[in-house]
Amino acid sequence: MPEISAGDTAWVLISTALVLLMTVPGLALFYGGMVRAKSTLNMMMMSFGAIFVVGIIWVVFGYSVAFGPALDSGSFIGDPSAYLGLKGLLNSSALALNGAYYPIPATAFIAFQAMFAVITVALISGAIADRARYGTWLVFAAIWVTIVYLPVARAVFYFGDQEANGGGFIATKIKALDFAGGTAVHINAGAAGLALALVLGKRIGFGKMLLRPSNLPLVMIGAGLLWFGWFGFNAGSALGANGLAGVAFINTFSATCAAVAGWLVIEKFRYGHITSLGAASGIVAGLVAITPACAYVDTWGALSIGVISGAISALVVDLKHKFGFDDSLDVVGVHLVCGIIGTVLIGIFATTSVNEFGANGLLYGGGTGQLVRQIQAAVIVLIFSFVVTYILGTILNKAIGFRVTNDEELEGVDIALQAESAYDLVGSSKGSSKGRSA
């Protein structure tokens, strides 16, 4: 068992806080500014809600299901009782994952992975903006993280070195590469978002009324904070303060720059304008796409993945109008599409010159082997997440109702559900106080 490394532990702890910053306020602002003014607060609360629901589940049994010893041999989930309430882990012993040891305490890894579970759930909320019942969203978050996220996270992140002993099947059986969660986080959330958008149906006026973003400065602040936090997400996934973290860090930067360029060029030639929403969207597109690949590709690979993801996402993001599903904030067009692009392109651009534990892709003499493995992983997660989410969403919709009434939707969920409003820019809220305070 290795000694705990102070540097490695410090970096993972800092990265953990950075990943939390991605969700709040990063994603909350990014999404909150992109909806209409009458649902900004509710949109932000969906991210905040994901944190506390998933956070409680994570420490009670979630970590154990995702990273505990297998329930029984061949099982896709860990034994929830093994680390119930983080039993036996709140000490300074080194992290042990399926027989492999890391020079950081298990607690740092538990916290780091908690933030991944949180943001994956929060990402889904963008697909059902303006129209979801908040209580049902919280119930959904609790069940979804348990039956979809935990098994997928185990399949992708529970690698270790004992292949025959219940390791995650995507990591150790299929041997697909996913450094920081292109499959487990982004394809997973994107497919779930598509399923929920179909279950809840279109917003009133979708495709007819002006559903423009209410506050693009918030969107840009959110995108900037996501980028900042994403360095923790990707470089932190090295689980150490080391060269691999550095590779992941610089690739996270360069791919994102290329993605912004790709998005802006497409929209300039297609619509005649370079827009702030395009720049913010390009940032997220590039960050998503480089997530699985960040520690496996060189600079040319990172730039290629970036520009391809930004350009393709910009080209396909409006197809929802053609297909007629209201993925309100483009969880599908950005996260699912770019998650697939990043995951699959590892099979093209991966090179062992930057990471001996990676693989060589098609362009680096590795043939099509890795490409096939990457496609398999992407397809498996996509189908699993979509099907289970669709069934779960449908059951919740029938049982307790997932969508607000038309009146509530038209009034706006901020006032209808929360009795609050995000903005009072002109001070025009007349009325008297019946406050209980002095």
Partner 1 sequence: MKLVTAIIKPFKVEDVKDALQKQGVNGMTVSDASGYGRQGGHVEVYRGAEYTVDLVPKVRVEALINDSDVNKVVDAILIAAKTGKIGDGKIWVMPVDEVVRVRTGERGSDAI
The residue ranges that bind partner 1 (CB under 8 A) are 210-213, 267, 270-271, 273, 275, 277-278, 281, 314, 317-318, 321, 330, 333
DSSP per-residue codes, 358-397: S---GGGT-TTHHHHHHHHHHHHHHHHHHHHHHHHHHHHH
Closest CB to partner 1 among residues 267, 414: 267
Closest CB to partner 1 among residues 21, 284: 284
Buried b or exposed e, range 175-190, using 16+ CB within 10 angstroms: bbbbbbbbbbbbbbbb
Beta carbons of 30 and 222 less than 8 angstroms apart: yes
CB atoms near residue 316 (< 10 Å): 15
Task: Work out whether the CA dihedral 257, 186, 163, 348 comes out positive or negative.
Answer: negative
Smallest separation (angstroms) from partner 1 to the CB of 27: 17
Smallest separation (angstroms) from partner 1 to the CB of 317: 5
d(CA 427, CA 429): 6
Smallest separation (angstroms) from partner 1 to the CB of 315: 8
Closest CB to partner 1 among residues 313, 397: 313
Smallest separation (angstroms) from partner 1 to the CB of 276: 10
Closest CB to partner 1 among residues 255, 317: 317
Smallest separation (angstroms) from partner 1 to the CB of 212: 6
Smallest separation (angstroms) from partner 1 to the CB of 211: 8
Closest CB to partner 1 among residues 39, 136: 39
Distances from the Cα of 207 to the Cα of 49, 202, 310, 412, angstroms = 29, 9, 24, 18
Beta carbons of 353 and 247 less than 8 angstroms apart: no
Measuring CA to CA, which residue among 252, 336, 348 is closest to residue 302? 252
Closest CB to partner 1 among residues 161, 318: 318
Segment holding 103, helix H or strand E: strand 100-105
Smallest separation (angstroms) from partner 1 to the CB of 31: 13
Smallest separation (angstroms) from partner 1 to the CB of 127: 14
Smallest separation (angstroms) from partner 1 to the CB of 264: 12
Closest CB to partner 1 among residues 127, 377: 127
Beta carbons of 345 and 293 less than 8 angstroms apart: yes
Smallest separation (angstroms) from partner 1 to the CB of 256: 18
All residues at 6 or more sequence positions from 209 whose CB lies less than 8 Å from its CB, including other chains = none
Residues 206-214: contacts with CB under 8 Å, at least 24 apart: 206/326, 207/321, 207/324, 211/36, 211/328, 212/36, 213/33, 213/34, 213/35, 213/277, 214/33, 214/34, 214/35, 214/36, 214/37, 214/40
All residues at 6 or more sequence positions from 129 whose CB lies less than 8 Å from its CB, including other chains = 31, 34, 35, 39, 43, 203, 328, 329
d(CA 355, CA 47): 34
Closest CB to partner 1 among residues 74, 427: 427
Closest CB to partner 1 among residues 96, 316: 316
Closest CB to partner 1 among residues 210, 438: 210
Question: Which two tokens mark 300?
Answer: 């040319």
Residue labelled with tokens 């929403």: 277
Smallest separation (angstroms) from partner 1 to the CB of 201: 18
d(CA 330, CA 370): 29
Closest CB to partner 1 among residues 87, 212: 212
